[in-house]
Amino acid sequence: MDDRVLTGILAHELCHQERYISMGLARYLKFIFIYTFSARKRYDEERATDMMTIDKGYAHELYELTLISSADKKHKPIIDNYLSASEIMEYAERTGKW
């Protein structure tokens, strides 16, 4: 993977951490429980994190990452939880981050 893709991964994961920290301990513990058992919660979390990643200025990096991960058969079971490449571009253009 090139530096842009690695940056996309890192930015996405750091956005998760920012979201978790903002929850506080009690809400975070509740979140972990619900996330573990709820496909909808996982879907919502990953998409919200992708949007936060774009909002922070990493749309192109996330886009490059998504092109790779969506083509990888190992990601097939979870890929629908994330924004697609076209959704990333649309959201980034709509928010002025493309």
Mean of pLDDT values over 82-96: 98
- Residues ≥6 apart with Cβ < 8 Å to 4: 60, 61, 64
pTM of this structure? 0.94
Q: How confident is the model at residue 1, as a pLDDT?
A: 87
pLDDT > 70: what percent of the chain? 100
- Residues ≥6 apart with Cβ < 8 Å to 42: 35, 78, 81
